[in-house]
């Protein structure tokens, strides 16, 4: 009960702040549950008082300022919702896509304390020099430092979590879960969008970001995946100076990929860099099923050798074998105009319920694919195409797939980077070799041999586990036989406990209904104004 009240208060505070800045989180025209209509009236006076002071600000600036004032977790929530146009509408998603994760740095004394608590001893025991922060975001900040070892001095980047950031995120995530559960309970049309699953995904990504050992492990895993790739690399990890709250990496002395003038002056080929960036991302997603999900221009550098180097691995995406096949076959099918196959893949993957027609879905895929052909390279957007694919989710009763939504968001970012380097980049020409290689490796002869090997391995495991399985089955059958003869009995203590739980459940159920109604009113300001 107390936890629910605290969540209502947190959400109410957020709603007031958003109302003050004139931010609405419900797309225009969307049907709003009745309890929220009451709270909309409550939000109007707040907006009336503050609006004259905010009206001169651009909408995207108001959103950025509002979320920044609410704290780090709301900045992350805003960035995450920028990928969910299906939930908040394309207009707000576009505004949130401009949200920058930048905050003032925390003091050097806090950085020193964090390093010494994480690594032990004094800061000088680990670093020869330790400079002021060079970048500060909602979760962590980065310092440039120097270490001395057997090979001599070398520059490193030291990433340090903000003090108490875990506690703040946990409290805010609790309120997000509370709001999502109430929305699913009281607004059935929203259940298809799976609000709780959306918060689950946000929780997983932030948990990964707040354990820097996991980020270091992600860098190490990608380094193994791309050992034989040319033109793309990641920093090396200094595991000796890495812990949960502090991570040390190779310092990348490179040119930001957005600085086209410096890249040209250094003799780098911008078109080649664009192609490398796009194909590397697609290769990571389709071949490895593990991709950098935040490859914007600020996270990409070009080193002296001309390699594209990615940094900041806090947000990573994973695709299972089914999702990779789905992606590769869709790209290949749209390139070759095999719309029937593209539709069939959706049904085979279980993304489209069986009561729909494959032929009708193929017709929808044709409506997306045909306009692509015959257009110039500058007019073709793979990210827009993926967006159109996901736009059909409601028409065909498709549930939200968070991993594919993250892929689409990442594709939008990478496509933007590649196009900035080469405006004439033909996305389909660039993607086709990657999709074709994946198809040949996984669906051709090599793939069939691999499947046979995996099938044999699975059969062997089943046979090896058979004796233990039979013993468990025998024990289960004996228990069932005993219950059949003697009946199922409960002792008095168990019966009394069940009665207490039933009474408590009945009371808490009634309380939950009232709390749910109040919470919906409280979060209304978070979702809409005027």
The residues annotated as belonging to the active site are: 294
- DSSP letters of 267-322? T--HHHHHHHHHHHHHHIIIIISEEES---GGGEEE-TTS-EEE---SSEEE--HH
* Segment (H or E) for 255: strand 255-256
- DSSP letters of 193-208? G-HHHHHHHHHHHHHH
For helices 427-443 and 402-421, angle between their N-to-C axes, nearest 10 degrees:
140
- CA distances, 527 to each of 13, 14, 438, 496, 524 (Å): 12, 10, 43, 44, 5
Give the span between the Cα atoms of 63 and 277, in whole angstroms. Answer: 30
Give the span between the Cα atoms of 5 and 516, in whole angstroms. Answer: 10
- CA distances, 96 to each of 339, 428, 527 (Å): 33, 28, 14
Token look-up 């069940």 returns 498
349 contacts 333 by C-beta, under 8 angstroms = no
Token look-up 């995120």 returns 169
- CA distances, 259 to each of 101, 108, 297, 402 (Å): 20, 30, 9, 33
210 contacts 160 by C-beta, under 8 angstroms = no
Q: Which residues pair with 145 in a beta bridge?
A: 130, 156
Give the span between the Cα atoms of 490 and 423, in whole angstroms. Answer: 73
Report the candidate in 287, 292, 305 with the shortest Cα–Cα distance to residue 228: 287
CA atoms in the 13 A half-sphere facing the CB of 363: 7
402 contacts 291 by C-beta, under 8 angstroms = no
512 contacts 2 by C-beta, under 8 angstroms = no
The two tokens of residue 211 are: 């354990």
Q: Is the sign of the CA dihedral 229, 235, 241, 242 positive or negative?
A: negative
């Amino acid at each position: 009960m107390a936890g629910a009240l605290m969540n209502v208060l947190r959400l109410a505070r957020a709603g007031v702040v958003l109302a003050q800045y004139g931010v609405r989180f419900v797309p225009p025209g969307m049907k709003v549950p009745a309890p929220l209509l009451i709270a909309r009236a409550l939000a109007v006076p707040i907006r009336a008082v503050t609006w004259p002071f905010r009206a001169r600000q651009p909408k995207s600036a108001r959103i950025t300022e509002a979320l920044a004032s609410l704290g780090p977790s709301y900045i992350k929530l805003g960035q995450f919702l920028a990928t969910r146009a299906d939930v908040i509408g394309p207009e707000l998603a576009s505004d949130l896509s401009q949200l920058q994760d930048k905050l003032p740095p925390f003091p050097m004394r806090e950085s020193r304390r964090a390093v010494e608590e994480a690594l032990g001893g004094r800061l000088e025991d680990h670093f020869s020099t330790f400079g002021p922060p060079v970048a500060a975001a909602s979760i962590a900040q980065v310092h440039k430092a120097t270490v001395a070892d057997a090979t001599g001095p070398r520059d490193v980047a030291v990433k340090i979590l903000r003090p108490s950031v875990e506690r703040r995120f946990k409290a805010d995530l609790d309120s997000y879960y509370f709001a999502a559960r109430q929305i699913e309970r009281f607004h059935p049309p929203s259940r298809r969008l799976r609000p709780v699953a959306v918060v689950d995904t946000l929780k997983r990504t932030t948990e990964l970001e707040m354990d820097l050992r996991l980020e270091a492990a992600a860098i190490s895993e990608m380094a193994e995946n791309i050992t034989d790739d040319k033109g793309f690399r990641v920093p090396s990890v200094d595991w000796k100076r890495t812990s949960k709250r502090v991570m040390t990496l190779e310092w990348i002395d490179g040119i930001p990929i957005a600085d086209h003038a410096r890249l040209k002056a250094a003799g780098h080929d911008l078109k080649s860099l664009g192609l490398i960036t796009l194909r590397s991302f697609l290769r990571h997603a389709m071949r490895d099923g593990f991709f950098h999900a935040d490859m914007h221009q600020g996270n990409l550098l070009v080193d002296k050798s001309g390699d594209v180097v990615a940094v900041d691995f806090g947000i990573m995406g994973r695709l299972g074998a089914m999702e990779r096949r789905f992606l590769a076959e869709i790209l290949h099918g749209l390139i070759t105009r095999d719309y029937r196959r593209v539709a069939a893949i959706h049904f085979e993957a279980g993304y489209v319920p069986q009561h729909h027609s494959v032929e009708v879905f193929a017709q929808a895929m044709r409506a997306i694919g045909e306009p692509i052909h015959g257009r110039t390279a500058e007019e073709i957007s793979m990210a827009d195409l993926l967006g159109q694919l996901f736009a059909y989710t409601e028409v065909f009763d498709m549930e939200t797939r968070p991993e594919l939504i993250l892929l689409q968001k990442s594709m939008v970012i990478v496509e933007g980077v590649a196009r900035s380097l080469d405006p004439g980049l033909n996305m389909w020409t660039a993607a086709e070799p990657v999709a074709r290689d994946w198809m040949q490796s996984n669906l051709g002869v090599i793939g069939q041999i691999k499947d046979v090997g995996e099938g044999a391995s699975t059969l062997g495991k089943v046979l090896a586990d058979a004796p233990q399985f039979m013993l468990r089955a025998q024990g289960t059958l004996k228990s069932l036989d005993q219950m059949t003869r003697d009946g199922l009995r409960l002792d008095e203590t168990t019966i009394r406990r069940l009665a207490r739980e039933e009474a408590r459940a009945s009371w808490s159920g009634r309380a939950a209904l009232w709390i749910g109604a109040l919470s919906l009113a409280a979060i209304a300001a978070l979702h809409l104004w005027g």
